[in-house]
Amino acid sequence: MEKYEVKNIYGKKGSLSVRVPGSKSITNRALLTAALAEGESLLDGILFSDDTRYFMGCLKALGIKTEISERQCTARIFGCGGKLPVKTAEINVGSAGTAARFITALLAVCDGEFFIDSSDQMKKRPMKPLLDSLTSLGAEIEYKGAEGFFPFVIKGKNPDISSVEVDIDKSSQFLSALLIVSPLFRNGADIAVKGTHGMNYVKITADMMADFGVKTERTVDGDFKTAPNQHYIGRYYEVEADLSAACYFYAMAAVLGISVTVKNVFKNTVQGDIGFIKVLEEMGCTAEETEGGICLTGPKDGRLKGVEADLSGFSDQTLTLAAIAPYASSPVTIKGIAHIRGQECDRINAITQNLNAMGVKTEETEDGVKIYPSEPKPCEVETFNDHRVAMSFAVTGLRADGIVIKNPSCCKKTFENYFDVFNSCLNALSSTSMPNADTVEAIKELENGEGFRFEGSTEELFSSINTD
């Protein structure tokens, strides 16, 4: 599919229940901690996408035994006890930022010599702050291209140095990478941290390390200490639903004025994107935790309020907020997101370029953007091969004519059947009490697919969607 034409369904009413894949952030952290653990782990509910498949491929190339079931969304990992089975390998991290940072840190603290390559997109993304930290620990890096970027050969060394400093202004993954491999330091780890970006993701890392048996402590100065002689222990681990993915469907509720429940998303989540729910509440939505998951209801007819929001703690939702901002009653200001210029694309520029093409006025700043609401005009959305651009601006098209998403297949990076699930929602909301061709196809997807779910019979499906 080269292009996806979004269907304007504004005015349709109903309630939806949606199931999204497992969290990418949690999946990748679980894969690495389980790989380093003593014993066997069963990871349940994991995400299968381009990023996670690259991560699993890296583990396989490094000699980690795995048993994967995409159908059951499980991975059985046979841990290496902190000692890689191989001392040389060639691996490719693709465009997976988490794999790029985590696997690089792992190889830097293990004896051996490894060649690491990536996609062209990943070769443009920042790595130098992490690589500087790793070389200070004794790793040697031989660049095969531009200094500070992929590809390179890394000669690892089990560090006897315990102190290391890392700058996380460009990515908190640099710190998470060091933390996850810190039990491999001979004398424990003292990690001095420069910057505060993305600490919600760092908390996920620390919590999951504890789940697998390793405790790291944050000092009053904001640094981290991991005591020596700790080991990850294999276990059963269930991965939460991906809140980043869930937020696109909550945004759908916001702009259409309907109710959407995302299965297995709860307020006690460890994922920082829960902060986006609070932003939507400030804009006039209501959120209720049900037995199945959080149900978010948009204001009547999608009449959203303007808001000023610091998204530094959940920056993946910057594009989502920008995509619904044209429908607010006053300007929407997003700040604290300078680092997203160095992600899959310059995401701030992607926002301004696409909204301006829709006739929506924006003001771009170094660390954010201000959006002046107005009715979006027909536009082909340039996705820059960035999954979040594609998924976010699809929501804009739900109440505007002529919004077309170019290269929608880029979503396979994290949510490969996103537009299948998206279409199921539209078909359900567009259907009447009598099945039509679109509705029959939607029901087939409900029965056979893995994304969208209604609980109950077909008759209950129709009665639960109050269409106008």
Q: Which two tokens stand for residue 135?
A: 């070389």
**Helix, strand, coil distribution of the chain in percent, nearest 5:** 40, 20, 40
Query: Catalytic residue at 310?
Result: no
Q: Comparing C-alpha atoms, which of 71, 65, 72 is closest to residue 31?
A: 65
CB-based contacts of 389, cutoff 8 Å, min separation 6 = 319, 345, 347, 350, 354, 381, 382, 383, 410
- State how far the Cα of 325 lies from the Cα of 280, in Å rounded to an integer: 11
Distance CA(159)–CA(423), nearest Å, equals: 51
At 44, which helix (H) or strand (E)? strand 40-44
Name 459's Cβ contacts closer than 8 Å, sequence gap at least 6: none
User: In whole angstroms, what is the distance from residue 389 CA to residue 350 CA?
Assistant: 7
- Could you give the CA distance from residue 429 to residue 229 in angstroms, rounded to a whole number? 56
Instruction: Choose, from 316, 401, 420, 438, the residue flagged as catalytic.
Output: 316
Dihedral angle at the C-alpha atoms of 239, 122, 251, 435, nearest 10 degrees?
-80
Residues marked active site are found at: 316
